[in-house]
Amino acid sequence: MNSNDHPECWRCGRRFLNGQILRRHCVTAPNHHYCVPCDKHCRTAAGYRVHMEQVHGSDDDDSDDDDSEEEDYYDLEDGWEDERGEEEYPDEVSESGDEPLDTSWEDSNEYDFEDPEYLRLPPSFNDVATDDAEESDEGDVEETSHFSCPMCKKEHATLCATPCGHVYCVRCIRAALKYTEACPICDEKATEDQLRKIYISQE
C-alpha cells in the first residue's frame, strides 16, 4: 500500500499506519490539541481549553441546562472554540504556524540507555559494576535504592522502565523480555531497546 493512502496528521504532516495510531499520536504529541470523545482537533491550546470547559465541563446542579447547551454547541460552526479561546485566554493562543514544534525532547537521550549492549551484558558483569558503585559511595546508594523490584523483591540502584511504565531491575526485565517479549505485569509488547533508565528520588 502506498504511504499516501495512510492517515496523515494535519498538524505535523506525519503519516501513520491506521487511524488508531494517528489518534494516539494526536493525544500524546506536544502542541496537538485533540479531544478523543469528540474526535475533534483544535488549532490552539486556548481553543482546546474552551472546548473542554464548555462541552465536557460538569455541573451536577445544572444538569437540565447542560443538555440544552450541548445541543447549541453542535449547531455552531467549526472553529468556534478557537475563536472564543482567543478572547478568553489570549496568553494560550499560538497556532501551528506561529512557532515551531518543540521536538528537542525527542532527540535527548540523557536518561536513556545510550548503549543497548549494556542490557545484554552477563548478569555477573552488572553485579560487579553495581558492587563497585555501592562500595565507592554507600551512603548515596542507601538513600536512592528504596525500590524493590516486583520480580526478585530486592532493592536495586539501577532500574529501568518499560514503555508501559512498569519499573524493574535491569536483570529481571532483561530476562523476562528475552522469553516473553512483553511486560510481566500487563503483557504489553516490549523490547530491550525500548527500556529507559530511571532515577527514583526519595525527596
- For the question of whether the overall pTM of this predicted structure is more than 0.85, the answer is no
Joined together, the cell numbers standing for residue 29 give 504529541
Give the tens place of pLDDT for each residue, 39-74: 888 888 888 888 888 888 755 445 455 454 554 666
- Give the model's pLDDT for residue 70: 52
Residue 46's nearest CA partner among 18, 87, 16 is 87
DSSP code at position 76:
S
- With a cut of 60, say whether residue 125 has pLDDT above it: no
Percent helix, strand and coil across the chain, each to the nearest 5: 50, 10, 40
Q: Return the pLDDT at 87.
A: 84
Determine the pLDDT at residue 61. 47
The model's confidence at residue 145, banded by pLDDT at 50, 70 and 90, is very low
- The domains of the chain are located at 3-106, 109-198
pLDDT of residue 198: 82
Q: Which fold has domain 109-198?
A: Herpes Virus-1 (3.30.40)
Select from 121, 193, 137 the least CA-distant residue to 163: 193
Whether the pLDDT of residue 171 is over 50: the answer is yes
User: Average pLDDT for residues 10-38, to the nearest whole number?
Assistant: 84
Note the pLDDT of residue 121.
52
Q: Considering the chain, what percentage of its residues have pLDDT values greater than 90? A: 0
